[in-house]
C-alpha cells in the first residue's frame, strides 16, 4: 500500500468536495513539529506489529516502550526499534511503568478479555490509553474503564482508524449534513473466508474474544451505521448464520446478520462472517447514493456517489489515527466524544443488544 505523509495528504486533497470535512482533523499539526507523544505498545501480536511500522509515518507519536509476555519478542523489538531495557515490561512488572517518564501513553492491543484490566492498570499508573476495538467484552466493562480513566485524570481513546480516513470522513459529511437529503437505507458488511484459522486461535474462545466476527469485524459496521447518520439506533434485530464448521465454532458465531433502526426512519442492515468474503458499504439517500467497495477493511478504498468518483488518496490509517489522538493530548485538551471511551461504550451497548436479539429472536430496544 502506498502511504502519503500528512503534509502530502493535505496537499493532494486540496479544497475540493469534502476538504472542509477532512482538513480540520489535520489542522494545527504544524505547531507540533517538535513534540512527540511517547507510546508503549501493550501486546506484540499481528496488529501490534502493524502499528509499530506506522510510527514511521507519524509526525507526533514515537514508539518508546513495549509490554509483552514473550521474551523473544522483547529482544526482537528492542533491536529493531532501539527500545532501551528500562522501557521493556512484562505483564507481571507492568505496574512499575508509573515511574517511567519516557512513556506517556499505553496502546492496548491484547485479546478483548484483557482490554479492561490493562486499561485500568495503565490509568492507575497515570498513563493515557488507546485501546483497540472492540473496547471490551461488554458495555459494563467499558463503563468501568471510562470511570477508571476519569478517576486517574488520564484520557481514554479508541483505535477507530476510519474516523481519520478521507473516504469515511466524506461519508460522515454527506450523511450527517444531509447533503444528499435524508439517508433512508444503509448496507455495510465485512467478512473474510477464513479457512486456515487454528482451533486454538483466541478469537474462537468466547472467554477471550467475547464473540465471533461480530466482535472482530462487525464493530466496524456498527460504527459506520452510526457515524453515517450521526444518530444512535433505537432498536435492533439479528440472526445467527448457520455453523458449517462445528469443530471450530463451538463457542462463538461463525456469521451473523443484524438490522439497526434509527429514529429518523433509517435502517442499517449488516453482516459479518468468517466464511464469506465481503467488504462493502452502500447508502441510499433522498437525492442520491454513496458507495464504497472495498469499504471498511484496510483498503485501498474505492468509492463513488451519484455526483461522481471519490478521489481521495491512500493514507496510513494507523498513523493518522495516532496523530489525531496525539493532537489533543499534547495540547492537554479533552478528546472529542467520537474518538474517546464513550464511543466504544456506545458500540458495545449496540453489540450487546445484537447478541441478545440473535439469541432470543426478538427485537431489542435501545431506548
Catalytic residues: 133, 220
Q: Is the dihedral of CA 204, 208, 211, 215 positive or negative?
A: negative
* Adjacent-strand bridge partners of 275: 193
What is the grid cell recorded at 340?
474517546
Cell of 123: 490509568
Distances (CA, A) of 143 to 120, 269, 342: 11, 27, 8
Residues 6+ apart with CB under 8 A from 300: 1, 2, 294, 314
Identify the H or E element spanning 111: none
Distance CA 84, CA 208 (A): 31
CA-based R_g, the chain, Å: 20
3 state SS of 349: helix
Residue 327 corresponds to which cell in the numbers above? 493532537
DSSP state, residue 91: T
Q: How many CB atoms lie within 10 A of CB 273?
A: 24
CA pseudo-torsion sign 97, 103, 106, 107: negative
The helix/strand count (H/E) of the chain reads as 12, 15
Q: Which of 313, 325, 263 is nearest to 131 (CA)?
A: 325
- C-alpha distance from residue 228 to each of 43, 60, 167 (Å): 31, 28, 12
List the one residue out of 62, 14, 24 whose CA is nearest residue 324.
24
| Longest CA–CA separation in the chain, Å | 59
Give me the sign of the Cα torsion angle 366, 133, 302, 59: positive
Amino acid at each position: 500500500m502506498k502511504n502519503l505523509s500528512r503534509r502530502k495528504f493535505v496537499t493532494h486533497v486540496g479544497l475540493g468536495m469534502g476538504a472542509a470535512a477532512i482538513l480540520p482533523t489535520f489542522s494545527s499539526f504544524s505547531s507540533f513539529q517538535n513534540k512527540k507523544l511517547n507510546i508503549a505498545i501493550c501486546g506484540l501480536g499481528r496488529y501490534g506489529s502493524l502499528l509499530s511500522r506506522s510510527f514511521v509515518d507519524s509526525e507526533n507519536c514515537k514508539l518508546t516502550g513495549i509490554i509483552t509476555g514473550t521474551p523473544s519478542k522483547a529482544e526482537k523489538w528492542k533491536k529493531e526499534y532501539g527500545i532501551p531495557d528500562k522501557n521493556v515490561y512484562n505483564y507481571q512488572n507492568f505496574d512499575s511503568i508509573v515511574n517511567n517518564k519516557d512513556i506517556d501513553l499505553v496502546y492496548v492491543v491484547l485479546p478483548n478479555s484483557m482490554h479492561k484490566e490493562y486499561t485500568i492498570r495503565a490509568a492507575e499508573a497515570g498513563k493515557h490509553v488507546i485501546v483497540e476495538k472492540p473496547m471490551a467484552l461488554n458495555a459494563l466493562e467499558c463503563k468501568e474503564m471510562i470511570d477508571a480513566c476519569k478517576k486517574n485524570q488520564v484520557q481514554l481513546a479508541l483505535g477507530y482508524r476510519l474516523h481519520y480516513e478521507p473516504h469515511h470522513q466524506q461519508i460522515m459529511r454527506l450523511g450527517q449534513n444531509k447533503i444528499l437529503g435524508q439517508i433512508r437505507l444503509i448496507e455495510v458488511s465485512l467478512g473474510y473466508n477464513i479457512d486456515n484459522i487454528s482451533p486454538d486461535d483466541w478469537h474462537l474462545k468466547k472467554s477471550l474474544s467475547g464473540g465471533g466476527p461480530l466482535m472482530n469485524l462487525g464493530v466496524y459496521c456498527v460504527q459506520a451505521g452510526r457515524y453515517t447518520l450521526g444518530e444512535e439506533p433505537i432498536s435492533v434485530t439479528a440472526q445467527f448464520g448457520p455453523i458449517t464448521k462445528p469443530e471450530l465454532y463451538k463457542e462463538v458465531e461463525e456469521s451473523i446478520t443484524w438490522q439497526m433502526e434509527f429514529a429518523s426512519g433509517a435502517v442499517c442492515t449488516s453482516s459479518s462472517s468468517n466464511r464469506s468474503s465481503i467488504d462493502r458499504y452502500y447508502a441510499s439517500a433522498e437525492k442520491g447514493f454513496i458507495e464504497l467497495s472495498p469499504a471498511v477493511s484496510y483498503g485501498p478504498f474505492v468509492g463513488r456517489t451519484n455526483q461522481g468518483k471519490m478521489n481521495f488518496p491512500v493514507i496510513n490509517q494507523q498513523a493518522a489515527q495516532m496523530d489525531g489522538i496525539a493532537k489533543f493530548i499534547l495540547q492537554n485538551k479533552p478528546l472529542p466524544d467520537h474518538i474517546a471511551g464513550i464511543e466504544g461504550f456506545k458500540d458495545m451497548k449496540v453489540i450487546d443488544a445484537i447478541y441478545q436479539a440473535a439469541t432470543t429472536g426478538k427485537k431489542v430496544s435501545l431506548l
